[in-house]
Amino acid sequence: MVNTSSLKQYVWTSLWITILWIILYRYTNHIAQFAAVKYDFSFAWEKNTPLIPWMILPYVSLNIMTFVPLFHLIPSEIRHLGRVMGLATVIAALVFYFFPAPLIHTRPDYVPTWNYFFQLVFSLDDVSNTLPSLHITYSTQLLLALWPKLKSFRYIYLPWFVLVCVSVLFTWQHHFMDIIAGVVLAVSLQLIVPKLLRDESFRWGI
């Protein structure tokens, strides 16, 4: 059962993270298009990675995963998760700005059966910056925050997380090193940023 305090904290946290992501991610992708020097962190074998259309489902399922904290975390834990996700967004944006790394694959114009989902993702997610993958960073941060609370649900969320990680490769959204960098960023912040005191109250603050 979701209590009012958790709901308020979740809505507020989701709002400011979304705004931060839109501003920083879209800006750095725009700047990267005009960068004089661009980087390639992919491996040669990745050029042969097949496009597996149905993998777009676990890819977009991150949007569903972001609702899970609402049912498992208290307000202070949601607030803390928001802070580390926000910090991850800022750090990733700095990497994007100084090390623009375009996608090596050429996106398809049309994907049978799954085209609606692909075009939706393509409209929101540019190809100018790939490392680290914020898709992976956010997924990892969600899993780390939820892991102590999941208990028997771990058998559901762990395979779900693995599918999300694999999906970024087979939807031609990211490369292998983008996944590694995304996980490292999430785990590093989990270890470095101290946890907050677990008060139950909601408050209008980041």
Asked if the structure places residue 205 within a domain, the reply is no
Is residue 203 in some structural domain? no
In a domain, 181, yes or no: yes
φ and ψ at residue 104, rounded to 5 degrees? -80, -20
Q: Judge whether 15 lies within some domain.
A: yes
Confidence of residue 203 (pLDDT cuts 50, 70, 90): low
For 38-81, the pLDDT digits (tens) are 898 999 999 999 999 999 999 999 999 999 998 889 898 999 99
Confidence of residue 200 (pLDDT cuts 50, 70, 90): low
- Supply the pLDDT for residue 2: 75
CA angle 140, 121, 174 (to 5 degrees): 50
Is residue 8 scored above 80 in pLDDT? Answer: yes
Question: Tell me, what amino acid is at 175?
Answer: H
Sign (positive/negative) of CA torsion 184, 186, 187, 188?
A: positive
Range of the domain at 143: 4-192
Residue 177 lies in a domain: yes
Domain count of the fold of the chain? 1
**Assigned domain for 206 exists:** no
Whether 182 is covered by a domain: the verdict is: yes
- What's the CA gap between 92 and 97, in Å, rounded? 9
Helix (H, G, I), strand (E, B) or coil at 56: helix
User: Is residue 198 domain-resident?
Assistant: no
Tell me, what's the pLDDT at 191?
Answer: 87
Q: Span 181-186, mean pLDDT?
A: 96
How many CA atoms does the CB half-sphere of 175 hold within 13 Å?
22
pTM of the model as a whole: 0.90
pLDDT tens per residue, range 108-146: 889 999 999 999 988 887 788 889 999 999 999 999 999
